[in-house]
A and B are shown apart, each in its own frame.
Chain A
Amino acid sequence: MIMKAALAAALLAGSLGAAADSVVEQGKQVAFDRKKGNCLTCHQMEGGTLAGNWGPPLMAMKARYPNKEDLRAQIWDPTKRNPMTSMPPFGRNGILTEAEIDLVVEFVHSL
Chain B
Amino acid sequence: MKTLTQLTLALSVAVSGAAFASPEADQKAFQKFYESRFSQVAEGDFINGVYSILPAAREQWEAIEEFPPYEPEVEIGEELYNTAFANGKSFADCFDTPAQRENYPYWDADREMVVTMERAINECRTANGEKAWGWKKGKIAALSAYMSYESRGQEISVTIPEGDEGALAAYNAGKEMFYTKRGQLNFSCSDCHMYGAGLNARADTMSPAFGHASHWPVYRSKWQAMGTLHRRFGGCNTNIRAKPFKAQGPEYSNLEYFLTYMSNGLEFNGPGARK
Chain A residues within CB distance 8 Å of chain B: 40-42, 50-56, 79, 82, 84-86, 88-89, 93-95
Contacts and interface: CB of A to CB of B under 8 A. Distances in A.
B2 to A, nearest CB: 10
Contacts of B191: 86
A84 B184 contact: no
Interface in B182-206: 184-187, 191-192, 195-196, 199-204
19 contacts: A41-B202, A42-B201, A50-B202, A51-B202, A52-B199, A52-B203, A53-B200, A54-B199, A54-B200, A54-B201, A56-B4, A82-B8, A84-B8, A85-B8, A86-B191, A86-B196, A88-B185, A93-B186, A94-B184
Nearest to B1: A56
Q: Is the interface of B mostly helix, strand, loop or mixed?
A: mixed
Contacts of B12: 84
Interface residues of B, number: 19
Nearest to B16: A84
A86 B187 CA distance: 6
B11 A52 contact: no
A86 B192 CA distance: 8
B199 A95 contact: no
- The A contact surface, by secondary structure, is loop
B184 A54 contact: no
A87 to B, nearest CB: 9
A93 B203 CA distance: 25
Contact of B195 (A40, A53, A84, A94): A84
Interface in B233-262: none
Contacts of A85: 8
A96 B4 CA distance: 26
A86 B201 CA distance: 11
Contacts of B202: 40-41, 50-52
Given A52-B202, A56-B1, A85-B8, 12 more contacts: A50-B202, A50-B203, A51-B202, A52-B200, A52-B203, A53-B199, A53-B200, A54-B199, A54-B201, A86-B195, A86-B196, A93-B186
